[in-house]
Amino acid sequence: SFPAINLEQRMRYLIRYPHGCVEQTTSSVFPQLYLSKFSTLGKQREIEIENNIKQGILRLQKFQTANGGFSYWPGDSYANNWGSVYASHFLLEAEKEGYALPFGMKNKMLQHLGSVAKSWRRPSRNDKYYRYQSNELTQSYRLFILAMAGKPEV
């Protein structure tokens, strides 16, 4: 048997999470893309989820930097590596599920991911930030997202 996961309570927690960084914003809407596949939803709940996803997409637009990446907080000018990849993943999946992305958002984010992927170099193990940045995992995720978008980068 599989223990109950209390999906509804967990979703309410994510949706109402009080912090608004790029990770939390993405995490609050990403699972909502697939909620109907795990739970029977009423029409009102479906409308609420659709609105949440649309609002999440618009909110993520406020995180997008001039170079196409996504900052950790809205309006910051520096793109966060992990946040950029994670938000891009959600946006591509949302588009696949039929949600429209704001004009130019997808092209800018894919150009950013491609540029960062091309310039990426493995950090030295002596780098004091090495273990905190998970550079290899972020690069792997970045390459996966680019491939998923039809823009693979070697």
Exposure class string for 124-154: b at 16+ Cβ within 10 A, else e: eeeeeeeeeeebeebbebbbebbeebeeebe
Mean pLDDT in residue range 72-89: 96
Contact yes or no for 110/85 (Cβ under 8 A): no
* pLDDT classification of 39: cutoffs 50, 70, 90: confident
> Rounded CA gap, 108 and 70, in Å?
10
Tell the residue number behind the tokens 């995720």, with chain if given: 141
**pTM of the shown model:** 0.87
Counting Cβ atoms within 10 Å, is residue 54 exposed (0-12), middle (13-18) or buried (19+)?
Answer: middle
Exposure class string for 43-52: b at 16+ Cβ within 10 A, else e: eeeeeebeeb
Average pLDDT, the chain: 89
Q: What is the predicted pLDDT for the residue at 42?
A: 83
89 against 133, higher pLDDT: 89
Q: What is the predicted pLDDT for the residue at 18?
A: 64
pLDDT, tens digit, 9 for 90 and up, residues 101-150? 999 999 999 999 999 999 998 777 776 665 555 788 999 999 999 999 99
Q: What is the predicted pLDDT for the residue at 24?
A: 92
The DSSP secondary-structure symbol of 124 reads P
* pLDDT classification of 2: cutoffs 50, 70, 90: low
Q: What is the predicted pLDDT for the residue at 37?
A: 81
Q: Which pair of structure tokens corresponds to residue 7? A: 């999906």
Local structure of 65: helix, strand or coil = coil
Tell the residue number behind the tokens 């070697």, with chain if given: 154
Contact yes or no for 77/66 (Cβ under 8 A): yes
